[in-house]
């Protein structure tokens, strides 16, 4: 399939749900392509178009062993005619995420954490280019200028009448695009999945000065990136039972929990037309269940 075709979804479902007395809608980006689903698909789009335009045959990127970005890159590459290479942080392991990446033809290379930290230096990138025959390199998590062009296009699937759009913050590429692409009457509420207030400056830098009417809450990280508590697991389980929508414990579970808490704290009005962005990440649930012995719905 051509790059343009693969990255042009025709439609994304919007699902109405009711939970804890709040009626709102969810944009199911997780439904776009199994695994390459969610926000990563939008972040990759213009990177792949750029790679094709410049004649690259291979895509190389970085990630941890459970990375949604790694899996999304593998599926996107396979589906649009590229080879792919994943540089994975840490010791060689196998898990459902990496198996999926390999199933889509990704060549995996494990590097120790010290080398991994060099991944943005010119010397290291030059070495990778030589070693792997000049691949197109996409940064960890996929956030770069090209990514923001893609995440702004999530608005193509957001009807204008929504005035409150909520999504999670990992590196900020998704929220920045949503903020850049929104109309004046729309407000964006971000929920950080990382610990610390520094994320607010990070997002401010990404969106530039001219964009306001957004807020990023940092109260729902459950201890930090990929950290969790039983309260979060119980919430995800109950949300699935009541709505049929699966959430993952690293990203969308925290976003939805944050939205519900803001509603309980009266920071959200029932007059708001709310659209929560389901940014995907469901592929990671199998590995989470396997590691910690849970039974969270995987789709
Ligand atoms: C990567 C990811 C995010 C975070 O997106 P950023 O653009 O890095 O902020 C959110 N949700 C899911 C499911 C992800 O995989």
Which pLDDT does position 10 carry in this prediction?
86
Among 68, 178, 252, 258, which residue has the most ligand 1 atoms within 8 Å of its CB, making it the best to mutate? 68
Which pLDDT value is given to residue 56? 98
Our answer on whether the CB atom of 173 is closer than 6 Å to any ligand 1 atom is yes
Ligand 1 lined by 251 (C-beta under 6 Å): yes
Residue of 69, 149, 168, 216 with the most ligand 1 atoms within 8 Å of its CB, for mutation: 168
User: Would the CB of 254 count as within 6 Å of ligand 1?
Assistant: no
- Pick from 30, 38, 39 the residue to mutate for probing ligand 1's pocket: most ligand atoms within 8 Å of its CB: 39
Sheet with 58-63, strands from edge to edge, namely: 107-111, 83-89, 58-63, 136-138
Q: Residue 75 Cα, ligand 1 centroid: separation in angstroms?
A: 17
pLDDT of 159-179, one tens digit each? Answer: 999 999 999 999 999 999 999
- Ordered strands of the 22-28 beta sheet: 14-19, 22-28, 274-278, 164-169, 187-192, 214-217
Cα(170) to centroid of ligand 1, in Å? 5
| Chain center to CA of 19 | 23
Contacts of 55 (CB under 8 A, 6+ apart): none
Residue 279: the pLDDT is 97
In DSSP terms, which residues pair with 137 in a beta bridge?
Answer: 60
Ligand 1 center from residue 274 Cα (angstroms): 19
Contact 158, 135 (CB under 8 A): no
| Ligand 1 atom 3 nearest Cα | 170
What's the confidence (pLDDT) of residue 270?
Answer: 85
Domains observed in the chain: 3-34+152-292 (3.40.50.1100), 41-142 (3.40.50.1100)
H or E element at residue 84: strand 83-89
Query: Ligand 1 within 6 A of 280 CB?
Result: yes
Q: What's the rounded Cα separation, in Å, for the pair 84 and 72?
A: 11
pLDDT at position 36 is: 75
pLDDT of residue 37: 79
Chain centre to alpha carbon of residue 67? 10
Using an 8 Å Cβ cutoff, are 61 and 140 in contact? yes
Q: Is the dihedral of CA 250, 253, 258, 261 positive or negative?
A: negative
Give me the residues of the chain with pLDDT under 50, please.
Answer: none
Token pair for 180: 């850049």
The preferred substitution site among 279, 284, 285, 299 for testing ligand 1, maximizing ligand atoms within 8 Å of CB, is 279
pLDDT > 90: what percent of the chain? 92
- pLDDT recorded at residue 210: 66
Write down the pTM of the prediction: 0.96
Are the CB atoms for 168 and 93 separated by under 8 Å? no
Is the CB of 278 within 6 Å of ligand 1? no
Q: How far is the centre of ligand 1, averaged over its atoms, from the C-alpha of 130 (Å)?
A: 30
Q: What is the structure's pLDDT at 1?
A: 80
Contact 38, 283 (CB under 8 A): no
Using CB atoms within 10 Å of the CB of residue 36, give its burial: 0 to 12 exposed, 13 to 18 middle, 19+ buried.
buried
Q: What is the pLDDT of residue 264?
A: 96
Q: What is the DSSP pairing of strand 164-169 with strand 58-63?
A: unpaired
| Residues sharing a CB contact under 8 Å with residue 28, sequence separation 6 or more, in sequence order | 12, 13, 14, 15, 245, 278
pLDDT of 259: 98
């Amino acid at each position: 399939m051509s790059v343009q075709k693969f990255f042009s979804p025709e439609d994304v479902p919007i699902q109405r749900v009711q939970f804890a007395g709040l009626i709102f809608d969810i944009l199911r980006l997780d439904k776009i392509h199994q695994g390459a689903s969610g926000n990563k698909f939008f972040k990759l789009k213009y990177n792949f178009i750029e790679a094709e335009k410049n004649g690259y045959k291979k895509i190389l990127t970085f990630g941890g062993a459970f990375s949604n970005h790694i899996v999304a890159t593998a599926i996107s590459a396979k589906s649009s005619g590229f080879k792919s290479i994943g540089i994975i942080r840490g010791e060689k392991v196998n898990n459902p995420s990496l198996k999926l990446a390999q199933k889509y033809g990704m060549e995996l290379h494990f590097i120790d954490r010290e080398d991994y930290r060099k991944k943005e230096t010119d010397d290291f990138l030059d070495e990778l280019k030589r070693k792997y025959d000049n691949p197109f390199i996409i940064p960890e998590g996929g956030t770069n200028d090209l990514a923001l062009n893609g995440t702004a296009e999530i608005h193509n699937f957001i009807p204008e009448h929504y005035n409150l759009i909520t999504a999670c913050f990992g590196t900020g590429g998704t929220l920045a695009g949503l903020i850049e692409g929104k109309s004046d009457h729309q407000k964006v509420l971000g929920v950080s999945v990382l610990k610390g207030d520094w994320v607010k400056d990070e997002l401010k830098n990404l969106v530039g000065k001219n964009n306001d009417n957004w807020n990023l809450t940092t109260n729902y990280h459950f201890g930090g990136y990929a950290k969790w508590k039983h309260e979060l697991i119980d919430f995800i389980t109950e949300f699935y039972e009541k709505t049929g929508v699966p959430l993952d414990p690293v990203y969308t579970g925290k976003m939805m929990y944050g939205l519900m808490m803001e509603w309980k704290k009266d920071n959200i009005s029932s007059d708001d037309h709310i659209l929560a962005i389901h940014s995907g990440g469901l592929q990671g649930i199998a590995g989470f269940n396997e590691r910690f012995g849970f039974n969270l719905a995987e789709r």
